[in-house]
Amino acid sequence: MKMSDSSDEEQDVNYVLFKDRPDWKDIRPIEQDDDDEIVAIHYTDKFKDVHNYLRALLKKGEKSERALELTRVAASENPANYTVWQFRRDILKTLNKDLHEELDYIEKFILKQSKNYQVWHHRKLLVDWLKDPSKENYFTTLILNKDAKNYHAWQHRQWYMKTFQVFDGELDYVDSLLNDDVRNNSAWNQRYFVINNTTGFTEEVLKREIDYTLSKIKEVVENESAWNYLRGLLLHDKEGLSKNKTVTNFCEELYSSNSQSPFVLSLIVDMCCEQVQEGSGDSIYTLERALQLCSDLELKYDKIRANYWKHMADTIKRKASGENVEEEPTTS
Residue of 93, 115, 146, 218 marked active site: 115
74-92: b or e for each residue (b if 16 or more CB lie within 10 Å)?
Answer: bbbbbbebeebbbbbbebb
The identity of residue 203, as a single letter, is E
Rounded alpha-carbon distances, angstroms, from residue 72 to 105, 106, 202, 222, 315: 10, 10, 49, 47, 59
Question: Per rule CB under 8 A, is residue 189 in the interface with other proteins?
Answer: yes
326 near other proteins, judged by CB under 8 A: yes
CB 176 within 8 A of CB 170: no
Reading phi first (left if > 0) and then psi (alpha if -120 to 50, else beta), residue 12 is in beta
Residue 180 touches other proteins, criterion: CB under 8 A: yes
Judged by beta carbon, residue 81 or residue 260, the one nearer other proteins is 81
> Which long-range CB contacts under 8 A does 286-289 form with residues at least 24 apart?
287/316, 287/317, 287/320
Say whether residue 331 binds other proteins (CB under 8 A).
yes
Q: What are phi and psi of 63, to 5 degrees?
A: -115, 95
Is 183 a residue that touches other proteins (CB under 8 A)?
A: yes
Candidate residues 16, 32, 65, 165; the one interacting with other proteins per rule CB under 8 A: 32
The reply to whether 19 belongs to the active site is no
Does residue 78 interact with other proteins by CB under 8 A?
yes
- 4, 79 contact by CB (below 8 A): yes
Nearest approach in angstroms of CB 38 to other proteins is 4
The SS3 call for residue 226 is helix
d(CA 185, CA 229): 9
Positions in 220-279 near other proteins (CB under 8 A) = 220, 222, 224-225, 228-229, 231-232, 235
The nearest distance, CB 238 to other proteins, in angstroms, is 16
Radius of gyration of the chain (CA): 28
Q: Does 164 bind other proteins (CB under 8 A)?
A: no
Region of 17-25, 27-35, 100-108, 133-141 interacting with other proteins (CB under 8 A) = 27-35
Q: How far is the CB of 316 from other proteins (least distance, A)?
A: 12
Rounded to a whole number of angstroms, the minimum distance from the CB of residue 257 to other proteins is: 18
246: CB partners within 8 A, 6+ apart:
207, 210, 211, 214
Residue positions annotated with a catalytic role: 115
Which residues here bind other proteins, judged by CB under 8 A? 1, 3-4, 32-34, 36-44, 47, 55, 78, 80-83, 86, 117, 121, 125, 149, 151, 154-155, 158-159, 179-186, 189, 192-193, 196-197, 219-220, 222, 224-225, 228-229, 231-232, 235, 303-308, 311, 315, 326, 328-332
